[in-house]
Structures are given as C-alpha cells and as structure tokens.
Amino acid sequence: MISPQDDFPHPVPFQAFMTWKENWVFPSLDLDNDVSSLIHFSLRPSLGEGIFTAKFNVRGEKFRYVGRSPVPHDLENFVPVRDERLTFTVVDPTKHFHVVYDGPDIHADLHYRGRFEPWDFSDGPKPPGESTVGPIGLSVFPFNHYEQALAMTGTLTIKEGPLAGEVVEISGFGNRDHSWGWRDDFMFRHHHWVCASFDDLYVQGSSMLETSYPDLKHGGFVSTPAGNSATAHVDSSEAYWLAENEEFPPFDRDVTYTITTADGDKHTVTAHIGDALAKLYLNARSEDRSMVYQDCQIFCRYTHADGRKGSGVLEVGKMLQGPGVADAVGRHRRDGV
C-alpha cells in the first residue's frame, strides 16, 4: 500500500553503491623450501568479469599473474572456478581443495586440506550499536565470510628464469578465506588479519575500521583439535604503519598481537615481519585513481608467547586518498610483488 510519503524521493539502499563479489584466497608457506604462494579469485558478476591472481616467491625468484576474464552473471554453475590459466576445484567440501596454475613461467599443482573445522565470522560476538549496512555490518568484515586453517602440499615446475627446469615438491601450513556479498573496498580505512599456524593450534585475529560502523571491530577464532573459539578482541597497539594517508613503511620491525577469545583465553603471537619471507600485494584501486586500499600479505614466522614456533600470514591494509594516488603507490616498492 502506498502512502503520501511515496510521492517524495525514496532512500537508496546501500547495495546500489556496491559491487557483488565472491572471493576465495589461499595463502600458504613452505619454510623448508622458502616458497610463499598466494592464490586469489575475485568474481564480480554484475561487471561480467573475474580477477584471477597467482603469485609465487620461490627462493627469492618471483612469479606473478593477474588476469581478468569473463564470468557468468549467475555464478551457481561456474564450477570449477577458472580462467585460462588458473582453476579451483572443491574436491570435498570443508576437507580438500585443488588449485592448478599453468602459466608460461611456472606450473603449480596445489592441494589444500582442512586441519580444523572452518569458522563463520558471523558467529562471533558483535559490537554494540548499529551499522549503516544492517546487521551484517556488525561482523568484523561487513559481508558473508568464513575461514579455515589448512595443510598445503603440491608441486611447482619452474619454466623460466634462474630456476628453470627445477621441480620443487612443497608442503606447509596455509589457510583459506571465502567471502561473498555486497562489498565496497573503499569503505575500508584499515585492517589487521593475523593468521598464525602452529602444529596443534591456529590463531586467527582480525580487526577492521570501516565507514559503516563508527569504531574498530574485532573478530576471528582460535582452532585446536577440541574445536573453535571465537575471538573477542585483538590488541593491535604495536602496529607502526597506520599514519593517516601515508604509504606503508618497509615493515622492518616485528609486531606482537594479543588475541583474546570470548571465553577469556589469551594468545600473544609475534609476527616476525622484520625478517619476512615474502610480501605479496592485493591492492584495490578506484577507477578515477584517487583512492587505493593498500593491502599487503606478509609471509613470516610466528612465535607464540608459550614458546611455540609457527608460520603464516599477516595481512594489513589501509586507505590512501588523493589525486593520482592509485598510480603513485607501489611504483618504487622493492620488497614485494
């Protein structure tokens, strides 16, 4: 039924200014072979395209692929997820995933198997108040999102460069992140994504400041053989790269986080980013080149406060704005791909 108010302009839903995205990301690290890898799929059906990314750092040699390929408007039957070089197959849901990259420089055949059960970020504790994008905006990331600790095995066949002809069997820890929904990366102001793998433990802590909610939000989980516990708070006070509108510094000092679970357990982990194995970037740039959300995945060793040694990824992000900033950021960078 219409009302007199319907004769006037109507509020515009937030989705009108966002893009629907479905993303998967698979970072992994083999310490023994000094191999870091980052696989990323970002499907944007309303735009009719997907961005397919495969990045490898093999004993200091860098291999990089970022491709744009058409995707259908209805993604439900887009199985396996793929472009001309990169294919992602769900072998056994929540248990086993297979990624193949076949490029002119390197061939990668990678298997990822779940170490613990996945975690839905919406199951964690919520902050008080409201988000302008509704209830989903009270989760640490304002879209559908889950994650899982993984064991990675695979084979790299190197075709070009100083390592051409080598076949490297790799294994190590990894994790997977799957998200979907209405999304605007330029709402983000900064975030931390701590992914620390140990032999019988996975510590995940996330915090984000974004424009749909006035304060920093926290989330994540801690996995053990007994199950998952929700992260309630992430102490990121040692972060030294959050100066407003300044590009990331060299990340030449380690950083320590304390992750507190909803049941009060604390896990203090140090990310040894001052001696990182690799830094791989997933920056988002606006079409008018006036904004860039700088996103860096730092592959590093981790130390738990109880003495355990592990490895994983620390992803950090921050927003930069200004005329032409999207073209300027990263042009002089020497420490990543």
**What would the pLDDT profile of 158-192 be if each residue is shown by its tens digit?**
999 999 999 999 999 999 999 999 999 999 999 99
Give me the chain's average pLDDT, please: 95
pLDDT-derived band at 87 (thresholds 50, 70, 90) equals very high
Q: What is the reported pTM? A: 0.94
User: Which position has the higher pLDDT, 8 or 252?
Assistant: 252
DSSP single-letter state for residue 335: S
Portion of the chain with pLDDT greater than 70, in percent: 98
Chain CA centroid to CA 145, Å: 11
Among the listed residues 69, 13, 21, the one whose alpha carbon sits nearest the alpha carbon of residue 45:
21
Domain boundaries, the chain: 19-328
Mean pLDDT of 126-153: 96
Which pLDDT score is estimated for 164?
98
Q: How far apart are CA 110 and CA 172, in angstroms?
A: 11
Burial grade of 166 (CB within 10 A; 0-12, 13-18, 19 or more): middle
Main-chain dihedrals φ then ψ at residue 189, nearest 5 degrees: -110, -45
Q: What topology does CATH give the domain 19-328?
A: AttH-like fold (2.40.370)
Which pLDDT score is estimated for 13?
84
Quote the Cα angle for 56-60-64, to 5°.
30
Mean pLDDT of 96-109: 98
Tell whether the model's pLDDT for residue 133 goes beyond 50: yes
End-to-end CA distance of the chain: 56
Report whether 190 contacts 206 (CB < 8 A). no
Measured over the CA atoms of residue 179, residue 181, residue 186 and residue 190, the dihedral's sign is negative
Which pLDDT score is estimated for 336?
40
Tell whether the model's pLDDT for residue 332 goes beyond 50: no
Which pLDDT score is estimated for 335?
40
Per residue in 19-71, pLDDT (tens digit) is 999 999 999 999 999 999 999 999 999 999 999 999 999 999 999 999 999 99
Beta bridge partners of 36: 29, 57
